[in-house]
Amino acid sequence: MNLTENLSQLKASQEEMLTILFIGDLFGKSGRRALDRYLGTLQQNFSVDMVIVNGENSAGGIGITPAIADELLHNGVDVITSGNHIWKYKEIFSYLDSTNRLLRPLNYPAGAPGKGFVLYTTRSRRRVAVLNLSGRVFMDALDCPFQAADHFLEKVRLGRDVDAIIVDMHAEATSEKGAMGYHLDGRVSAVLGTHTHIPTADQQILPHGTAFQTDVGMTGCYRSIIGMKAESVMPRFLRQMPTHFEQAQEEGTLCGSVVRLSLKDGLCRSIQPVRAGGALSATALAPV
């Protein structure tokens, strides 16, 4: 290692950092149990400043209830993001209007209950903007997520108004998630994908400093078809028959990523996926 590399590493080690744990697609009871089992360990080992969880499938595999949202917020989750399944239970409509810690995608039309972003103050008094977006490819025909993000960033700027900006890009198409990553590169701290329930291995820091991963994965049972019992799903594929999906109940895997952000500019210095429990191979549960 040459002198320049040594100085660069020394400078990075001296930077003041903000560490955020982002957990993907909490799915039913198995996902909630995995979160309960591993969240405290991850918070302690990584010295986590803030926890964000996508909770849109936390109630029986589709939707979220006020009771579950309250439980998550009481047990260590700071902000809950969501997606197209947020509207499953009608009682969540008024709940969304009563809190800013459960989000629905920002690019729903005006008048939809709730908010698509929050400006959250961590226990260390750092300001973090969390932005929830929904894709449109193979999904509902919502307002443009790219324009919605641009309009938000006209008002809230990284480094000026907040210390970090985390984007949950809830989308079906990997190309649309990747496009959002490059569109926001250098303007937000991280663009992390949800919705497809399968963790991808493309975690990286984009050229202008934004952390990106196409999908952080589902927190739930992987002895399943994206969280549902295989036997309840197979008739749809084999015979094109309608069927009642049932959530899988075996041990769940917690899937997420830890991003470490510089408080100097709000951009990413490292992104580390974490997996624990259940059927998937585990990753390190401490910084590497």
Number of domains in the chain: 1
Catalytic residue check, 74 = no
User: Sorting pLDDT into bands at 50, 70 and 90, what band is 7?
Assistant: very low
- Predicted local confidence at residue 244, as pLDDT: 85
User: Sorting pLDDT into bands at 50, 70 and 90, what band is 3?
Assistant: low
Residue 106 covered by a domain? yes
Instruction: Share the mean pLDDT of the chain.
Output: 93
Q: In what order do the strands lie in the sheet with 211-213?
A: 117-121, 127-134, 164-170, 190-194, 211-213, 204-205
What is the value of pTM for the model shown?
0.93
Residue 287 covered by a domain? no
d(CA 149, CA 165): 11
User: Sorting pLDDT into bands at 50, 70 and 90, what band is 200?
Assistant: very high
Residue 6 covered by a domain? no
Cα–Cα distances (Å) from 196 to 26, 48, 57, 171, 217, in that order, read 12, 25, 12, 7, 7
- Predicted local confidence at residue 246, as pLDDT: 85
d(CA 204, CA 206): 6
Catalytic residue (one of 85, 170, 195, 197): 85
- Site of tokens 């049972």: 221
User: Sorting pLDDT into bands at 50, 70 and 90, what band is 5?
Assistant: very low
For 214-258, how does the pLDDT look when each residue is reduced to its tens digit (9 = 90+)?
A: 999 999 999 888 877 888 888 989 988 888 888 888 899 999 999
**Full domain range(s) for residue 173:** 16-276
d(CA 139, CA 145): 12
Residue 171 covered by a domain? yes
Residue 284 covered by a domain? no
Residue 283 covered by a domain? no
The candidate with the shortest Cα–Cα distance to 78, out of 166, 195, 179, is: 166
Residue 109 covered by a domain? yes
For residue 147, pLDDT over 70 is answered with yes
CATH of the domain at 20: 3.60.21.10
Residue 135 covered by a domain? yes
Query: Which helix or strand (DSSP H or E) is residue 52 part of?
Result: strand 50-54
Token pair for 23: 């957990």
- Site of tokens 């750092």: 126
d(CA 281, CA 273): 12
- Predicted local confidence at residue 248, as pLDDT: 85
Over residues 84-103, the mean pLDDT reads: 96
Burial of 197 by CB count in 10 Å (0-12 exposed, 13-18 middle, 19+ buried)?
buried
